[in-house]
Structure 1
Amino acid sequence: MATSALAQEQEQPETSTSETPRQGGLNEIIVTAQKRAENLQDVPVAVTAFGGEALDQANMKGLEDVQGRAPGLVISSFSPGQPEIAIRGVGTKEDGAGASDSTLIMVDGVYFATRTATNIDIFDLERLEVLRGPQGTLFGKNAIAGVVNYVTRKPTLGEFEFKARQTVGNFGTFDTGAGVNIPLGENVAARLSFSRRDTDGYLTRVDVGTRAVPTGSEDDDDIGFAERFAWRAAIAWEPTDRTSVFLSLDGADDDFGTDNREPVGSVGPLHDCGCASDPMAVNEVIGGTRGKNGGVYSYAGEELGFSKRDLIGGMAQVDHEFSFATLTVLGAFRDSTFKNLLDSSGLPPSPVVDLTGSNGNPNLILLGSPELGFTFDSVDVIDEQATQYTGEIRLTSPGSSRFRWVAGLFGSIEDIQRTEGVGFSGLSDQSLEPSFVAANMDFLGKGLGGYGQATFELTDTFSLTGGARYSYEKKRIIASNDVITSPNVLLILRPFPETRGEDSWSNFSWRIGAEFRPTSDIMVYGSVATGFKSGGFTGTATTAERATTAFEPEEATNYELGAKMDLLDRRLRLNTTAFYLDYKDLQVTRFFQPPTSGFGEFITENASDATIKGVEVELTAQPVDFLEFGGTYAYLDAKYKNFFGTPDISGSGDFSDNRLRQAPKHSWSAYVQVSQELASGSTITANLNARYQSDVFTNADNNPLDVLPSYTLADAWIAWQSADRVWEIQGWVKNFTDEAYRTHVYSQRGGRIAFGTFGSPRTYGVTLSYEY
């Protein structure tokens, strides 16, 4: 399913009794985007909601499967544990410990501070909500791009429930999951659930002879394997009619194999020579272009890399209903570790390259035969440990009054230790040893915030909304760079001892809006909202000065007009949004090659101005009970207005009028679903859906090599459900056209060589589900 229709089954509100599903026409969708259970069509915010049952039907396993189905959401992952999430072209490329993400990832109201902990498995959810645009006056943490909110299934008092699924598919896919709800007394219940997903991977090994140095845990038949295990345990207790307690503990253990990097472009000088410095030529001569879809699923690197991640977290929430408001007290902790090793070029290295000439003429290797291997091969290693604590106190007024309000206080502590190392084959040292440098960062962040929002119904058809938030964030880092072997390195990470940096920022943001209802089934709204993201510190800095000099915070003002309409006796649902986003000091991370460097370096700096404007449309139709269809469309015009960055080797740093990264101009999705009840009472349901994304740049210079080309993906499934709704068997296929599409790309050497990763080829399988 490819649109908000994923949530069309009747949702169960967290704090109120659900309404009876409508007989004929589209059901209501209940969300908590404004901290209270409300019909989606009554919420004056751009929200796309996905119901838990439909998430399962569509085989959506992670947030990357939501991309294309929620307008404006774009995800590009450097590695399986490091997603780069953007909404409406607003995202964060900087992955260092001292930076904040533009999009908040939240589970049951708890935000995840560390990016490496955000790519969680989708299982046992009540729903998933994607809120677009600045969200500062209702959430504990200020979100300048938007919020992705996971709402888990809660324990249900007095009912025993059990649900299990088993999936088998190609590439050794074997997924198992289950959830059970257990009454423990009249006012206590527990829920336990888990998800295990295994696949052998779809990469094939290219024999590179003695240059291969297997360092991972993979067999040659399981290149790119994935083993994921996630679990959750929760208890709900209602000691009185007015008080409820919710306790939750969850964890995950993920083990991913090699993540392939495929050469996708090279230009001169030097790198278009058809020689050892040309990654395209090296890839072809060693056989990396042979095979399916031009060899994009073949792996020729010398390192068999890996990604490993362990997560654990817990939360406690107490709600008490007073006569005037509900008091919510929430506390949570999260702990995560992430380790990653990858071959950044996906190619075997050439012999030692002596760039100084002390061991002979370096050009003999640089311009040598591509059969020697790639002269600028590199390896990236990441080791990160993170701990966070969050707390929130909130008062929420009753939802039935004409004057509705929410007010709260929020605090957080984040402690992250991260080391990122970059290694090259021997470069220039007399010892001819490989070069390896490591950037270390010990980060401590503290945040405080106070927020409030109120809506007053002036008449039965017209309401005004106002909100405000004060934020304070303080960040401290201890940074150092170590040279592990040769001091002559292409990436100019200059060694320096531990150096401290510290800075703090405060902000007052606000939101005003108005809602008008000409009829009970149509709402028109308008709003102006500001957003804020704190400053930070560059993660893999080249010098002590750059490591300890903070980049500035960014601010945005969002102007938005929208309409939510249920038409034709609720047989047609049409939601539209138009927005204009005015950005100041947008944080931009670049990997570029300054004139003083032989390879490149990371830098995060502020663009003076950027403007983003666009239109989003979501359509769902059910003309007859057995047929449903719909889709989404998003138009996005996102450009740097004034951006004069640090010049690269080409001598230009003017990126004004360039398109923002992760900002496709056009994207759409469409689906059709048919359901037919058989004479036996069982039901057959079939679904066909597709989604499209136009070209996406991944760097501020809009380098044609640094681009994700447009692509269209199509999925389909058909399911049979028994008359008693206990058994269901589903056959499914994803990417049935077998499109080879890029999911990430980055360039090196001043944008003259580029390497990409590709999404999954055609996958298919069968899922059996049982529900009691």
Structure 2
Amino acid sequence: MTIKNWLYGKVQFVFLVITLGFYSNHLVHANVATNVNTDPSEASSQAIENVLIIGKHPNNNLFEYASSVSTMSSETIQAWNIQNAEDIVLSMANVDARTRSPMSANISIRSVGSENWHINANQGVAQAVDDVSIQGAYASKLSMFDLQGVAVYRGPQTALFAINSTGGAINFETIKPLMNEFEASTNVRFGRYNRRELSAALNLPLVEDVALRMAMSNTKRDPLWFNAFTNTMMGSVDQRGFRTHLQWDMSSQNSLLVTYQYGSDNGSRVPYLGIGYWQTDGENVEDGRIVDITAPLDCQALLPSNSSSFNQKSNCVTVRPFSGNQAVAGGASDWYTTYDPADDVSNVRFESLKINYTQFFERFELNTLAVIDSVKSDYIESLSNNPFGLAFMPSQTNDKSHWMYEFRLNSLKDSNSVWMVGVTISNSQDYFGTVITRTDSGGARFGIVPAVSIDQDNQTYSGFAAYEYSLNQQWSISADIRYSKNKQSGLSTANVLAKTDNATPSGEPLDSGMYITRTLLQALTQNVSGPCPPGVFGWGF
């Protein structure tokens, strides 16, 4: 991203802030009329009114939404000890999470989703915080604190959260400031392996109609697993999050909300969950399936799962989580699937600034939103969970910055129909680099290891609309549409970065010195002629 583009984005952002202030003094105010009955004692004497719920958070009435929606309140989140997005989706019907890393859930709804493991990839199920789509699914776990509720929208979403999603969407709604009320809370938890969790929130009225809410979360845990190659422990947890809301209720018809959030995840790599090893001719394997995944293991593994090394000739099989106990053949020779468990490899840093202005009129609501956020990640991921799998390991680094403006009109009430129209303008600068090193023994013959570096700029202009008409209390007709224009430019470079010492022989893996630290990862992706790990030498073209 050039200095010119960076300054251009900041100037536009400041201009929008000034524009929002202009709105607060010049827009015509009107009273908001609502006939929604909130008194349970009168529910039997009044008919249920139509309520606008498109794109709204779980506090609103969702039972008339045209799509299937499941919600979870803040009380339920605390009572069920919900810790991350996987915990939420696995508590709801038709929703699945296929965890492939400690930071990505790969969520699917009604079996529709995606399993793209790239750190800058958008998933098939959109994830949003306060109705704003998250740039990269890895940032969702960094927002799991001080929540008002969560809503899961099933089915394709076109006009929701300013993004197209084929599988559905998940919206995390945070708690907003309370006017004229001081509130403070804290929660401390302790667990095994020296796990410590601290969360706190403070609601502070500043002046009349202005309030501030600050919340933080800090979770740490010691590592659980031993890496036989490096004689070090792995699987530590180190997550931190901070969020502040500043809200100004200018009048009964308009308000301004400014939100800043920061999150980081510096934990070390962890193995796959729920994997064991058994003899193929043993009592626990029948017709290619594991009989009991809790049975004692037949095969001796130095680690319980993906980061493992057999110290014997193996005719074992393994079972992957969420696979219906489907067995996978282990192979007939020693094998190694290894990665660097160092604490500074698996890093995610997420930062966001949002300004949201809302203006109510007699029949509709105007909502303007400006967002600047960034996600930085360094991550090593193994594609192979088999001795004779893909036999290479892509290590990735990503730096993505993004700004977005959205203008949306929501109808409040108009007989039997509700509608929403909006426009979204966004721009993102994205750097992505990958280094691939060999990990297996006895695999296919290959000698070169490629690397890819991508710098790109994306501009998107999008218009969307949604409409719903209620025929009666049982039937309704709904439709939504989105038109988007995307312009992408950038540079993609592929280089032969490294090769094994003897280039071609089968079964000649890089030794344990091939581990790539964060420093080497950055050097390799930015300078193809730079230093390589021991046992590897590289060049570029």
8 A contact 1:141–1:410 mirrored in 2? no
Deviations for 1:167-206, whole angstroms, at most 9, x for unmatched residues?
Answer: 001121110001111111110001000011111133234x
Q: Determine the structure 2 residue equivalent to 1:183.
A: 205
Q: Determine the structure 2 residue equivalent to 1:356.
A: none
- Supply the distance in 1 between the matched residues of 2:382 and 2:119 (Cα, whole angstroms): 22
What's the secondary structure of 2:266's corresponding residue?
strand
1:309 is aligned to 2:348: yes
- Supply the distance in 2 between the matched residues of 1:38 and 1:147 (Cα, whole angstroms): 17
What's the secondary structure of 2:346's corresponding residue?
strand
Q: Determine the structure 2 residue equivalent to 1:330.
A: 369
Point out the structure with the larger strand share: 1
8 A contact 1:114–1:386 mirrored in 2? no
8 A contact 2:307–2:338 mirrored in 1? no
- 1:579-598 alignment, distance < 5 Å: none
Q: TM-score, normalised by structure 1?
A: 0.48
RMSD: 4.0
Change (3 A) 1:282 1:257: closer
Residue 457 of structure 1, CA deviation: 3.9
What's the secondary structure of 1:336's corresponding residue?
strand
- 1:372-391 alignment, distance < 5 Å: 378-391=392-405
- Supply the distance in 1 between the matched residues of 2:416 and 2:382 (Cα, whole angstroms): 59
> Structure 1 counterpart of 2:201, which letter?
G
Change (3 A) 1:425 1:104: closer
1:285 is aligned to 2:312: yes
2:486 to 473, 492, 500: 473
Change (3 A) 1:281 1:213: closer
> Structure 2 counterpart of 1:285, which letter?
Q
Change (3 A) 1:225 1:379: same
Residue 85 of structure 1, CA deviation: 2.0
8 A contact 1:344–1:379 mirrored in 2? yes
Q: More deviation in 110-119 or 194-203?
A: 110-119
What's the secondary structure of 1:409's corresponding residue?
strand
Residue 336 of structure 1, CA deviation: 1.1
Residue 436 of structure 1, CA deviation: 4.6
Deviations for 1:89-130, whole angstroms, at most 9, x for unmatched residues?
Answer: 222223447854221111111112323333334110111010
8 A contact 1:423–1:435 mirrored in 2? no
> Structure 1 counterpart of 2:370, which letter?
G
- Supply the distance in 2 between the matched residues of 1:450 and 1:168 (Cα, whole angstroms): 48
Residue 140 of structure 1, CA deviation: 1.6
> Structure 2 counterpart of 1:329, which letter?
T
8 A contact 1:141–1:449 mirrored in 2? no
8 A contact 1:412–1:447 mirrored in 2? yes
What's the secondary structure of 1:118's corresponding residue?
helix
- 1:113-124 alignment, distance < 5 Å: 113-124=135-146
What's the secondary structure of 1:144's corresponding residue?
coil
Point out the structure with the larger helix share: 2
- 1:9-408 alignment, distance < 5 Å: 19=38, 32-35=53-56, 38-96=60-118, 100-205=122-227, 207=228, 212-213=229-230, 220=232, 222-260=233-271, 283=310, 285=312, 301=338, 303-305=340-342, 306-341=345-380, 378-399=392-413, 401-408=415-422
Q: Determine the structure 2 residue equivalent to 1:424.
A: 438
> Structure 2 counterpart of 1:417, which letter?
Y
Change (3 A) 1:61 1:18: farther
Q: Determine the structure 2 residue equivalent to 1:559.
A: none
Change (3 A) 1:77 1:418: farther
What's the secondary structure of 1:452's corresponding residue?
strand
1:445 is aligned to 2:464: no
- 1:676-687 alignment, distance < 5 Å: none
Change (3 A) 1:385 1:19: same
- Supply the distance in 2 between the matched residues of 1:249 and 1:419 (Cα, whole angstroms): 28
Residue 307 of structure 1, CA deviation: 0.9
> Structure 1 counterpart of 2:340, which letter?
E
Residue 135 of structure 1, CA deviation: 1.1
- Supply the distance in 2 between the matched residues of 1:471 and 1:489 (Cα, whole angstroms): 47
- Supply the distance in 2 between the matched residues of 1:321 and 1:246 (Cα, whole angstroms): 15
> Structure 2 counterpart of 1:165, which letter?
N
What's the secondary structure of 2:106's corresponding residue?
strand
Residue 226 of structure 1, CA deviation: 0.6
- Supply the distance in 2 between the matched residues of 1:374 and 1:92 (Cα, whole angstroms): 24
8 A contact 2:119–2:377 mirrored in 1? no
- Supply the distance in 2 between the matched residues of 1:426 and 1:454 (Cα, whole angstroms): 55
Change (3 A) 1:53 1:375: closer
8 A contact 1:180–1:191 mirrored in 2? yes
- Give the paired residue count: 416
Change (3 A) 1:437 1:16: farther
Unpaired runs of 5+ in structure 1? 1-14, 215-219, 268-273, 290-298, 348-372, 429-433, 492-772
Change (3 A) 1:89 1:343: closer
Q: Determine the structure 1 residue equivalent to 2:29.
A: none
What's the secondary structure of 1:117's corresponding residue?
helix
Change (3 A) 1:435 1:119: farther
Change (3 A) 1:317 1:477: same
8 A contact 1:449–1:469 mirrored in 2? yes
Residue 321 of structure 1, CA deviation: 1.3
Identity between Structure 1 and Structure 2 (%): 20
Residue 156 of structure 1, CA deviation: 0.9
Change (3 A) 1:377 1:194: same
Change (3 A) 1:265 1:445: farther
Deviations for 1:585-618, whole angstroms, at most 9, x for unmatched residues?
Answer: xxxxxxxxxxxxxxxxxxxxxxxxxxxxxxxxxx
- Supply the distance in 2 between the matched residues of 1:164 and 1:392 (Cα, whole angstroms): 35
Q: More deviation in 322-331 or 246-255?
A: 322-331
* Higher RCO (CA 8 Å, separation ≥ 6 residues): 1
What's the secondary structure of 1:39's corresponding residue?
coil
Residue 132 of structure 1, CA deviation: 0.5
- 1:585-734 alignment, distance < 5 Å: none
- Supply the distance in 2 between the matched residues of 1:199 and 1:17 (Cα, whole angstroms): 47
What's the secondary structure of 1:120's corresponding residue?
helix
Residue 22 of structure 1, CA deviation: 7.5
What's the secondary structure of 2:165's corresponding residue?
coil
- Supply the distance in 1 between the matched residues of 2:473 and 2:53 (Cα, whole angstroms): 22
